[in-house]
Amino acid sequence: MIGTIYINGEPSDGLIPVTDSSVLRGDGCFEVLRAYRGKPFELDGHLDRLERSAGALEIVLPSRADLLDWVRKSAAEVDDGAVRVVVTRGGSVPGIEGPSRVIVFSHPWPRGDDTTTLYPVVAPWHSAGVDWALAGAKLISYAPNLSARRQAQNHGFDDALLLTTDGVVLEGPTFSVGWVVDGRLETPSLDLGILFSITRGVTLDLARESGIEIVEGEWKLDRLGQATEVMAMSTIREVQGVTAVGERTFASGPMTRRLAARFAERIEAL
């Protein structure tokens, strides 16, 4: 069940006008946090990113104290699930512009499978490292990414792996990726315009603490032919083994299991 829906901090029926910018223009940003035992995980990191996204969109947010309060109240309503924060510009029809809206609610989200399969999909809409005003912002306009996921599922895979038009590996529609080559953990660089993933950041920190060498860079899909393991990282997936990327198959190997275990320890310490 969905918990209380807060709009600008007030409990509501969850209804917003059809004139809202999120409905008419897809103009807004969002965050999804995981709640464990009613506590939000990596809350400050998510709110930092939300503030960067809203700043890029020139949307003024409520105070940090208010955002913290709303998310914590929402997280307390769900034992193990997700907290969603959606920011819209507000009214977008002439004469009824603004004010902005911050929507916060929680809902159960059972943990998924330990492994997944990915189908490579070219993503011409991705900035792929080209600098622009909204680079790195977590926008609510996810239609191209979700279309890529459906394309992958139509080919019998669980999800998509996005590539540039010349075959460079980027990220998944809603997750980051990494792989193991000669004992090193390789992952696409943020310079490619991929999202600054909170889970990716935590996982890389855990890898460094474990003495694992990390290389961030730019590789074409053929690089996975040298990989022994592939992993997906996101708020909902945590650290998940990838057992296939197109025709290439992989075992859910020791580094993936090790990092998943370290991530679980981080959660237990919450």
What percent of the chain lies above the pLDDT cut of 90? 94
List, in order of start, the domains of the chain with CATH numbers. Answer: 5-108 (3.30.470.10), 115-268 (3.20.10.10)
How much is the pTM?
A: 0.96
pLDDT at 1 > cutoff 90: no
State the pLDDT confidence band at 195, using cuts at 50, 70 and 90: very high
Alpha carbon 202 to its chain centroid, in Å, reads: 13
Give pLDDT, residue 116: 97
Q: What is the mean pLDDT of residues 208-214?
A: 98
Q: Look at residue 111 in the predicted model and tell me its pLDDT.
A: 81
Separation between Cα atoms, residue 247 and residue 86, nearest integer Å: 37
pLDDT reading at 97 higher than 90: no
Structure-token match 């237990």, residue found: 268
Write down the mean pLDDT value for the chain: 96
Mean pLDDT for the stretch of residues 176-190 = 98
Residue with tokens 């807060």: 6
pLDDT at 252: 86
| Predicted confidence (pLDDT) at residue 95 exceeds the cutoff of 90 | no
Q: Which of 41-45, 134-138, 165-169, 239-243 has the lowest mean pLDDT?
A: 134-138
